[in-house]
A and B are shown apart, each in its own frame.
Chain A
Amino acid sequence: MKPKIVVGHLYPDYLNIYADRGNIAVLERRAAWRGIGFDYRTIGLGEEANPDEHDLYYVGGGQDREQALVAPDLATKGESLREAVAGGAAFLAVCGGYQLLGRFYRGRSGAELPGIGLLPQHTVAGERRMIGDVLLECELEPGHRRTLAGFENHAGRTYLDEGAEPLGRVVAGFGNNGEDGVEGSRFGSALGTYLHGPLLPRNPWLADWLIGKALARRLGEPPDLEPLPDDFESSAQRVSAERARARGGRF
C-alpha cells in the first residue's frame, strides 16, 4: 500500500505573508515524486487540532494584525499541538508562526502576548528590523552538517532558553536576535525559524527531513527516501548563500 502523510496547515488564510505556500508546494511535490500520498488539511480559526490526526504541521508568518487575530485561537490548540509533537509529529513554523510557538512575545509597550510554549524560547519586540539574506549551518542529525539559505525580516528578537537547541549557527545574517549567533529553535521534530524565501524550495534537504520525520511517525520507522534530481535547487541555494555572504545583515 502506498504510504501517505497527513499535513495540518494552521491558519493559511491569515498567516501567509512570505509566500508560505511555496513551502507547502515543495513538500507536496517531493512527496508525490516518491509516490508518497500527501493529505493536505487546513486548520482554521475555531477548528480543533486533533493530536492523533497529523504527521506534519506548518504555520507561516503574517502581519501584526493577522497575528493578533489568530493568537487567542492558537492558545486553545496549544495542548493538542504539544501532545502531537511529543508523539513524534514534525512541525515547521516560520517567522510570525515561530514567535507564536514560543513562551511569550513582549511588545514594545511591555505587554506580553502568551505563546503556546511548544518551543523553548521567547521574543521581545525590538526597534530596528533585521532584514536581509541569511546563511546557516545546521546539524539536525549528528554528523550531517548542512546549510540553509534564506531571507529574514523581523523586528522581534528571539531568545532561546538555557540549553535549548537552535536550528543552526549563523554564518551570515542576523539570526534570532543579532547577538548570540544562532538562528531558529528546535525541539524534537519541531523547528521554528525566521527564514523565508520561501525556505524549502532552495533547501530541499530540509523538506526531505520533514517528510522523513512525518513518515516515521506514520509508519513507526524511519523511511529510506530516494534522492531526487536537485540541480535547480542546488544552484538557487548557491546564489542565495552568496547573497548572504555578500550582503547578509549585521549590526
Chain B
Amino acid sequence: MRLQLEIAVARAAGRLSRLAGRGGGTTLPGKILAALDPRALRTLAQRLPRGSALVSATNGKTTTAAIVAEILGGRVRLAHNRAGANLVSGVASALLAAPDAELGLFEVDEGAFPDVVGRIRPHAVCLGNLFRDQLDRYGELELVAERWRSALAELDAGATAIVNVDDPLLADIARGRANLLRFGLDDPTAARERLPHAADSKYCRSCGAPYTYRAAYVGHLGDYACPGCGEERPPLDVAARSIVLSGLESAAFDLVTPQGTRRVSLPLPGLYNVYNAVAAASLALVLGASLDDVEAGLARFRAAFGRFERIPSGDKAVLLLLIKNPAGANEVVRTLVADGGPRVAVVALNDNIADGRDVSWIWDVDFEPLAEGLERLVVTGGRAHELALRFKYGGVPPERIEVVADLERALDRGLELTPRGAELVVLPTYTAMLALRRIAVARGLARPYWEEAA
C-alpha cells in the first residue's frame, strides 16, 4: 500500500517536470522514489515477469540498448531508459514509467553498474568496453574494472554475462565465469594498422608485457596475444566476420552465433557500431530473440538521438555526432575521414559535470586526419578556445579557425558556410549535444529526445 502511494507521488513529479519544461522527467521520479523508499527499486524490478538485462560500457551503451529494443520489437513490453538517464534514478524512473512491463532493459553508467546490479539482480548483463573517460569523474580504468569484477561475482548463478572479450580488461574480469557468452570481431581485413595513441590496457593482465595484436579494431579492442605468458583473446561465441563498411551510411557483416550464421546489415556507419550491433545481437539472443528477429531488428534500426542523427534545416542538414572521450571521438573521426572528410565542421566542447570538467581528453583524440581536409572550422561551447588550441597545434592554420562561443550562433555560422543541399558535420560533447538539440527543437526541426525515444 505504501509503495503504491510512493509510486504515485514519484510519477506525478515526472509529469510535473515535463509540464514545467524541465526536461523529460527521466530522472526526477526515480530520485523521489529513492528518497521515499531506498528498497523500492528492488521491489519494482522483482515484479518484472521476465527479469532485467543491463548494458554497460564506456561507449555505445545507449545505441546497444536501443538496438536490443528494436530487435525485441513490439513483442515484449519493456521498461527501458532509452533517453539515456542511466544512473540509479534513471533506471527507477524507467520502471515507474512502465507499470505493465515484462522485461527491464537498462543502459547503466559504468560507475553505477555495481550498485544497479546489487539492487536489480539482473538475469543478463552485457559489457561492451572500458576506455579512458572522464578521469575526474570515474577515476582510473583499473578501478572501474575491479568494481565490475566484484559486480560480476555477485550476479545470481543463473545470470548470463555477455562480454566483449576483444577488450583484454573485460576478458580478464570475466575469465572463469560459467554462464558467459563471449563476443567480438573476427575480420583482420577491417583492422587498423596500429593501435591509436590513446589505447588503454595495452599491457598483459597477467605478466605486464605489451600485447601483440593480430588485429586492432577500435582503441585497444582487438585480437591480442601476450608474447610473455601466452595469454590471448579467448575464443568467440558470437562474432562479426566479412565486415563491409559503406561510408557514412551503413555496415554489413556475417553474424556468427551458436544458432547459426546470418548476413546482416545495419543502417549505421563505422566499426564501433558493428561492435554495438554484435553486443546487441548477443544480448537479444540470450533474451530469447531468434536470428530472424535479430536480422530484422538490425535492418530497421535508426540512430539514437545525437549519435549520428540527421536533422534537416531548410535546404541543408545537420549531422550530429556525439563525441565524449578519445576512443569514441577517434572512431567518429575515422568514419568521417573514410567518407572523404568534411570541408566545414562545427566542434563543440563543454565542461559541465556530464561532459567531464577536465577537458584534457581532446588532446588524446586523433583529430589530425580530420584537420587535413578542413577549409573552415567553427569551435564553440564553454571551452571553445581549448578546441581552437587543439586544432592550431594539430596543424590547422589559425586563420581557418573561428571561435564562436555561443552554440546557437556557432550552428548558424556553420550552416552559413555549408553549401545548399549539403550536410554540416557537428561534433558536440554531451551537454553541447543536448543544447544543440534543444535549439533544433525550438526551431521545429527535431522532436525532444524523450518524445523521440517514446
Contact = CB atoms under 8 A, between A and B. Distances in A.
Contacts of A153: 135-136, 358
Interface of A: 13, 16-19, 21-22, 25-26, 29, 63-66, 69, 129, 131-133, 151, 153, 196-198, 201-202, 229, 231-233, 235-236, 239-240, 243, 247
Contact of B140 (A64, A232, A233, A235): A64
B363 A22 contact: yes
A133 B136 CA distance: 11
| Closest 7 pairs (CB-CB, A-B) | A19-B363, A22-B363, A236-B385, A19-B360, A232-B388, A235-B385, A201-B389
Contacts of B202: 13
Contacts of B343: none
B208 A69 contact: yes
B403 interface: yes
A19 B361 contact: yes
Interface in B388-421: 388-390, 392-394, 398, 401, 403
Given A13-B202, A69-B208, A196 B140 contact: no
24 contacts: A16-B364, A18-B135, A19-B361, A25-B393, A63-B142, A65-B203, A66-B203, A129-B139, A132-B136, A151-B359, A153-B136, A198-B360, A201-B363, A201-B389, A229-B398, A231-B398, A232-B389, A232-B403, A235-B385, A235-B403, A236-B383, A236-B385, A239-B382, A239-B383
B116 to A, nearest CB: 23
A54 B240 CA distance: 48
A63 B197 contact: no
B439 interface: no
A129 B136 CA distance: 9
B360 A65 contact: no
Query: Of B140, B197, B394, B401, which is in contact with the most chain A CB atoms at under 10 Å from its CB?
Result: B140
Nearest to A20: B363
Interface centre among A13, A153, A243 (most CB of B within 10 A): A153
A220 to B, nearest CB: 30
Contact of A197 (B141, B208, B210, B360): B360
B390 to A, nearest CB: 8
Interface of B: 132, 135-136, 139-142, 197, 202-203, 208, 210, 351, 357-364, 382-383, 385-386, 388-390, 392-394, 398, 401, 403
Contact of B132 (A17, A25, A64, A65): A17
A151 B357 contact: yes
Contacts of A25: 363, 393-394
A69 B208 CA distance: 8
Contacts of A131: 136, 358
A151 B389 contact: no
Contacts of B136: 131-132, 151, 153
A244 to B, nearest CB: 11
Q: Which of B135, B361, B401 has the most CB of A within 10 A?
A: B135
A202 B389 contact: yes
Contacts of B361: 19
Contacts of B383: 236, 239
A153 B359 CA distance: 12
Nearest to B382: A239
A25 B136 CA distance: 23
B37 to A, nearest CB: 30
A26 B386 CA distance: 13
A153 B139 CA distance: 9
The interface centre, meaning the residue of A64, A65, A131, A201 with most chain B CB atoms within 10 A of its CB, is: A201
Contacts of A240: 386
Nearest to A131: B136
Contacts of A17: 132, 135
Contacts of A151: 136, 357-360
A74 B363 CA distance: 26
B228 to A, nearest CB: 12
Contacts of A235: 385, 388, 403
A159 to B, nearest CB: 23
A5 to B, nearest CB: 18
B357 A19 contact: no
Contacts of A233: 389
Contacts of B393: 22, 25-26, 29, 201
Given A65-B142, A65-B203, 20 more contacts: A13-B210, A16-B364, A19-B361, A21-B197, A22-B363, A25-B363, A63-B141, A64-B142, A133-B357, A151-B357, A197-B359, A198-B363, A201-B386, A201-B389, A202-B386, A229-B398, A232-B392, A232-B403, A235-B403, A236-B389
Contacts of B197: 16, 21
